[in-house]
Amino acid sequence: MEIKIKGLTRNYFSDGRLIKALDRVDLTIPANQIFTLLGPSGCGKTTLLRCIVGLESPDEGEIVIGDEIVWSREKNIFVPPENRGLGMVFQTYAIWPHMNVFENVAYPLTTRKMAKDEVRLKVAKALKFVQLDGFEKRPATKLSGGQQQRVALARALVAEPKVILFDEPLSNLDAKLREETRKELRHFLTELQITAVYVTHDRIEALALSDQVAIMRAGRIVEIGDPKRVYFNSGNQFVADFIGRANLIKGRIASQDGLHAVIDTDIGAIRGLNSQKLASGTSAALCVRPEFISLAEKPVGEGDNIFRGKLESLVFIGEAYEGDIRVGEQLFTTTVSPTIQIAEGDEVSISFNPDHCFLLPVAEDS
Ligand code: ADP
Ligand code: MG
């Protein structure tokens, strides 16, 4: 089921200060996809989710789920949460500690006064789906973090919602379990074929889980795209920086040819993808990700995007080293293979393919 959000605004007043938690958000969340709202803490993700669910009332705008308007200021429509056909998984799971697994999952059905046999069937189906069949009588307090998360998922699914919404559901799990659960969740959601709206501040979670990602900043959506597009070729400097590690080099567009443009920077000319069709003379930044920079001890031949610099630091991070190379005033962070024989202080060459770096307009506030 598609969700359409039009001109959604939600203001808070706190200590005499106006906070625009949502600032005229326009957004279409496509049906039957995993759609993620990604952004730093405080950018309005939870507020947007709670408005869709109906736990929060916006100030302006409209929310349409499928072909039903569930909230509209202008038309004076408010459909209460329980009639919106949605399931939600909260950050804290909100599992009832005094209930066992069965009672927790059955809760959305028993509050609707559904017949006992039907409840039993539906709970069994939901628990089987999250692979917790056999856990019915287990007290909620005797579950691991990962199991609690799955109980919360089963409870969100038990009433067969049209849309399921998640607010940072993995943030209470430790790193290893988070990775496993992320894969599991992707598997569950893909199998379900329902619309999933997923909120997180974790870029890796967003990239790994989503069909589409919307990046939010200060109450607004700044960019929407599939994970690869926003990672490899974002049109926004904030997004490029937020979604992955980025080397950003500022300069001015010198010339364009086909897919590429050349940017004049303090360390010389650099060629990169120019998907934004930035015109010659405009201020721009080049973004190159650490994993696309090759490092060599010896000077490499002539060509685009080759620089000589000094290895300022080399830090072991397990699967690789992270190297900082200074070229003039510019510092490049690169991923360095653990097999390479170099040491801090060495002169090195770096190079990167013009197809693996991209040009961005420079934001007015930077
Ligand atoms: P996120 O989920 O992205 O971290 P939120 O949607 O929770 O962000 O909050 C967005 C902004 O609105 C923040 O500045 C937050 O402090 C503010 N805010 C959220 N809820 C309230 C509230 N009930 N009263 C006052 N300010 C709030
Ligand atoms: Mg939040």
Test site for ligand 1: of 10, 11, 46, 171, most ligand atoms within 8 A of the Cβ: 46
> What would the pLDDT profile of 186-244 be if each residue is shown by its tens digit?
988 888 889 999 999 999 999 999 999 999 999 999 999 999 999 999 999 999 999 99
Which sequence spans correspond to the domains of the chain? 3-237, 245-361
**What pLDDT sits at residue 363?**
63
Q: How far is the CA of 138 from the centre of ligand 2 (A)?
A: 30
| Sheet strand arrangement including 77-78 | 17-29, 3-14, 60-65, 68-72, 77-78
Average pLDDT over every residue of 41-60: 96
How confident is the model over 2-19, as pLDDT tens digits?
Answer: 999 999 999 999 899 999
* Ligand 1 contact via 316 beta carbon (within 6 Å): no
| CATH topology match: 3-237 vs 245-361 | no
**What is the percent of the chain where pLDDT is above 90?**
76
Average pLDDT, the chain: 93
Q: Which atom of ligand 1 is nearest to the CA of 168?
A: 2
For the domain 3-237, what is the CATH superfamily, name and number? Answer: P-loop containing nucleotide triphosphate hydrolases (3.40.50.300)
Q: Which of 80-89, 170-179, 342-351 has the lowest mean pLDDT?
A: 170-179
Residue 110 Cα, ligand 2 centroid: separation in angstroms?
29
What is the percent of the chain where pLDDT is above 70?
99
If you measure from the C-alpha of residue 75 to the centroid of ligand 1, how many angstroms do you get, rounded to a whole number?
A: 26
Can you give the pTM of this predicted structure?
0.91
Is the pLDDT assigned to residue 366 strictly greater than 70? no
What CATH code would you report for 245-361?
2.40.50.100
Query: With 60 as the cut, is the pLDDT of residue 365 above it?
Result: no
Q: How close is the Cα of 96 to the center of ligand 1, in Å?
A: 25
| Residue 92 pLDDT greater than 80, yes or no | no
Position 176 scores a pLDDT of: 85
Residue of the CA atom closest to atom 12 of ligand 1: 21
Contact 47 CB / ligand 1 (< 6 Å): yes
Judged by its nearest atom, the ligand closest to the C-alpha of residue 21 is 1
**What pLDDT score does 225 carry?**
97
Task: Evaluate if residue 158 carries a pLDDT over 70.
Answer: yes
